[in-house]
Structure 1
Amino acid sequence: MAGEFDGKVAVVTGGSRGIGAAVANRFAQEGASVVIGYNSSADEAHALKEELKTAGARCIAVRSDVVETEEVAALMNKAVDAFGRLDILAACAGISHFGALPTLSPQAADQVFAVNMRGQLFAAQHAAHHMADGGRIILTSSNAARRAVFEHTLYTASKAAVDAMVRCLSIELGQRGITINAVAPGATATAMVAQNAAKYQPPGMNLTAEEWLDVSYALDRLATPAEVAGAYAFLAGKDAAYISGRTLPVESCVF
């Protein structure tokens, strides 16, 4: 494998499945040494690791719960121990949540923000600690952060916080020549979306999945994880050298 990221080292949290796995694969295809961070999906992570190694990539898989800051720090340390440096972080670990206002609990709020916001914040902190000038940090937001989605308050708020983080951290990290941005995927063909697809419709609307796509998306289909991964590769690449503090949407949603 050879390409734009030859000689670079990339850490991908949530790298065992869905968008994270596609991002890890894309970086490896472009020549990066890849560290797949995972929490509960050990089989998938190690299967992807072996697939990438068979294709010629340098790759390791490391268990790391992004809620536990010490484990996040250890993940970055293991990347440097294995490959000698750290150039790119793609923070893809995340969880979804739906719930009506009367049902929301402090525990649910803490869990969603711990993974989706705090986990990405401290991944950025510990990755930046190891990065030299020119490092790239890409967090994961959502198109839901800019839309009104029924009973989706905790999730959308946690992703809106990511948009705010990249804006503010761009100033601080820019002093070291490090860019930080976010990707905001729309509806993507992942297990998370499959489990929650019907919940994205407004109350009283009972369209089939095909009907919902037809009226809601200009391209009449879900994005593939590989298509979303292209946005992470762009923000990590040379053509995005002057982009920082921004959230890049990857969607064809028409409202």
Structure 2
Amino acid sequence: MSDSQRVAVVTGGSRGIGRQVALRLAADGLAVAVGYAGNQAAAEETVAAITAAGGRALAVRADVADEPAVAALFDAAEASFGGVDVVVHAAGVMTLAPVAEFDLDAFDRMHRTNVRGTFVVAQQAARRLRPGGAIVTFSTSVVGLALPGYAAYAATKGAVEALTLILARELRGRDVTVNAVAPGPTATDLFLDGKDEQTVARLAAQPPLQRLGTPQDIAEVVAFLAGPGRWVNGQVLRANGGIV
């Protein structure tokens, strides 16, 4: 590892979009600390795939809403690789139901992971990133689409967007970019869970490209923001195939 190698922390890196982001950043030459909530085997599979391709990675368990755990994740990245340059917060949960029927305990759990978790990770990133760094959070295109049943989830992601845009301005002078990626319908376990084939087909038909997004599609957007996209800052990129 050269002294100039960049280092990424990717939460939610054990599966779905987070896993593809970790693999994509590693392919770009970054060392990667893969944060995961509970599925150690899946996280180790991500690490193994990176190391098999000649990269460097480690897996660290961390509840993103737990400040000491997230601090320990960053500590591990710094101890193993020398610092942190890129933080991608891909961890999140989604529960769907109409407002009138939504279980408030489920709302609180989702708020804890999606809002508090984003805040805790962003706080550590703001304190630790080296100049030239990038922070990428995750929203959802549903914030703009206003689909019924998504109110609670979209509300948490609306909070993420506000946090992201303000943090970009708070880091003036640090040479650190802060952006959010807002995927549309993307073929992940989180998205597909609980949806029948007709619902999936209807959602896949929405974009002019007439398909669901893939985790690889989203990882390419993240890699751009983490690497060459230095002039993109304080933005929400709606990576959704053209849904309006």
TM-score, reference length from structure 1: 0.90
- Residues 150-169 of structure 1: per-residue CA shift (max 9 Å, x gap): 12111000111111111111
> Does residue 65 of structure 2 align to residue 60 of structure 1?
no
Kept after mapping to 2: 8 A contact 1:140/1:183: yes
Q: Which stretch of structure 1 is more off in the superposition, 174-183 or 55-64?
A: 174-183
1:9 partner amino acid? V
Kept after mapping to 2: 8 A contact 1:146/1:160: no
Task: Within 5 Å, give how 1:105-124 maps onto structure 2.
Answer: 105-124=103-122
Residues of 1 paired with 2:50 and 2:198: CA distance?
A: 39
2:94 to 70, 90, 96: 96
Q: Which stretch of structure 1 is more off in the superposition, 45-54 or 18-27?
A: 45-54
Partner of 2:231: 242
> Does residue 152 of structure 2 align to residue 154 of structure 1?
yes
SS at match of 1:151: coil
SS at match of 1:176: coil
Using the TM superposition, give the Cα deviation of residue 107 of structure 1 relative to its aligned residue in structure 2, in angstroms. 2.2
SS at match of 2:171: helix
Are residues 212 and 182 of structure 1, via their aligned partners in 2, closer, same or farther at CA, if it must alter by over 3 Å?
Answer: closer
SS at match of 2:182: strand
Residues of 1 paired with 2:200 and 2:165: CA distance?
A: 35
Aligned residues: 243
Are residues 193 and 59 of structure 1, via their aligned partners in 2, closer, same or farther at CA, if it must alter by over 3 Å?
Answer: same
2:107 partner amino acid? A
SS at match of 1:185: coil
Residues of 1 paired with 2:243 and 2:183: CA distance?
A: 14
1:232 partner amino acid? V
Are residues 77 and 148 of structure 1, via their aligned partners in 2, closer, same or farther at CA, if it must alter by over 3 Å?
Answer: same
Are residues 97 and 211 of structure 1, via their aligned partners in 2, closer, same or farther at CA, if it must alter by over 3 Å?
Answer: closer
2:18 partner amino acid? G
Using the TM superposition, give the Cα deviation of residue 66 of structure 1 relative to its aligned residue in structure 2, in angstroms. 0.7
Task: Within 5 Å, give how 1:198-237 maps onto structure 2.
Answer: 198=196, 207=198, 209-214=200-205, 216-237=206-227
Residues of 2 paired with 1:188 and 1:165: CA distance?
A: 23
TM-score, reference length from structure 2: 0.93
Kept after mapping to 2: 8 A contact 1:67/1:118: yes
Residues of 2 paired with 1:251 and 1:139: CA distance?
A: 16
Structure 2 residue runs of 5 or longer lacking an equivalent are: none
- Residues 123-159 of structure 1: per-residue CA shift (max 9 Å, x gap): 0111222212221100001101112111211100011
Using the TM superposition, give the Cα deviation of residue 106 of structure 1 relative to its aligned residue in structure 2, in angstroms. 3.5
- Residues 97-140 of structure 1: per-residue CA shift (max 9 Å, x gap): 11222333442222111111111111011122221222110000
Kept after mapping to 1: 8 A contact 2:86/2:135: yes
2:138 to 131, 137, 140: 140
Instruction: Report sequence identity in percent.
Output: 36
1:44 to 20, 38, 42: 42
Q: Aligned Cα RMSD in Å?
A: 1.9
The runs of at least 4 aligned residues of structure 1 exceeding 4 Å deviation read: none
1:228 partner amino acid? I
Kept after mapping to 1: 8 A contact 2:183/2:218: yes
Structure 1 residue runs of 5 or longer lacking an equivalent are: 199-205
